[in-house]
Homo-oligomer: A and B are copies of this chain.
Amino acid sequence: MVKLSDVAARAGVSVSAVSRVLSGDPSARVSEATRERVRKAAAEVGYHPNFAGRALKLARTDVIALIVPDLTNALFAELTRGVEDAAVARGCVMLLARSEVMQPGGKMFDRLVGEGRVDGIVLQPRDGTDPDELARTVGERATLVTIHHRIPGASSVVVPDALAARRATEHLIALGHRRIGFAGGLTASPTAQRRVEGYREALLEAGLPGDPDLITWHGYREADGEASAAELLALPQRPTAIVAANVNAAVGVLAEAQAQDIAVPDDLSVVAIHDAWTAEHTWPPLTCVRMPLYELGRTAVTALAEAIDGGPVTHRTVDDPEPVLVPRASTAAPAS
């Protein structure tokens, strides 16, 4: 591994000079001729600053961790890209981890923050995580930004959930649906709460009755979508359309409809909040409301960087671009 002193020897200067030149210290007093020789020498031997030495001296690793509940979820693809792009733009490396193994309070989380392996963490808490307990276990030890959730003492970033649910519902209303079901996440999930709120607003505004039976709280996974659909389709007065709180749940809704021989979209329209490539390949392809997840990731990194630099705790909502409806084949006017 080529080090600073190798470059220094080759350029015929001291290590300090090399360090200053290569790190671009503006207050460094080094002649342009020397700078040139140093840069040339560094390039020739292929110098890269040793990570450990640098981290030790600077007490900074330029690593940020992104912890999500489930890496395989297509929804995290956009988020991950956003976080990674923003991290790279700041010269950081992104360390990605599943929250299953990287539970706050867990051994691995301890290592991450306790051993000073990361400068900060972007965390999407799992559904059902208690915010207060999370705040307690993280405490002062790590710089944290949460997404989709707010916990005391940490910055957070969310997407306009209510607006997205509203757009989805409005789309169905515009098509002529009057009995619209909602397949939501867990009751405890603040995201789910915001979404059902948007759904209710849209109904209210259209002068439609809000039947509580039409709202289910199962969760965000396929199986949860199936359960929601089963519940809604068993209703004496079955809905003609369903807003699913998430693409995965929507896939479950489609599966349950298929299993019950209910044609989509002829007998049942389905619209999902969030978009992902998986939505294009279901049958029928899913109408979605696309959320600014890429920007969510970027914003989270911005918030994290500010917090690391000692900035105040902030709570942001990503509202650009707005949630937008992506019409596909799973929605149509009701049959009747």
Contact = CB atoms under 8 A, between A and B. Distances in A.
A77 B69 CA distance: 12
A326 interface: no
Number of identical protomers? 2
Nearest to A58: B52
Interface in A251-294: 251-252, 254-255, 258, 276-278, 280-284
Nearest to A107: B88
Contact of A116 (B1, B46, B96, B254): B1
A266 to B, nearest CB: 14
B61 A72 contact: no
A111 interface: yes
A114 interface: yes
24 contacts: A1-B59, A46-B114, A48-B110, A48-B114, A49-B115, A50-B115, A54-B115, A56-B56, A71-B72, A72-B73, A72-B76, A72-B276, A84-B98, A88-B101, A93-B95, A93-B108, A93-B111, A95-B96, A96-B96, A222-B281, A251-B281, A258-B283, A258-B284, A278-B278
Given A51-B61, A72-B77, A72-B277, 19 more contacts: A1-B59, A46-B114, A48-B115, A49-B115, A51-B55, A51-B117, A54-B115, A71-B71, A71-B96, A72-B74, A72-B76, A88-B108, A93-B112, A95-B96, A96-B96, A222-B277, A252-B281, A254-B283, A255-B283
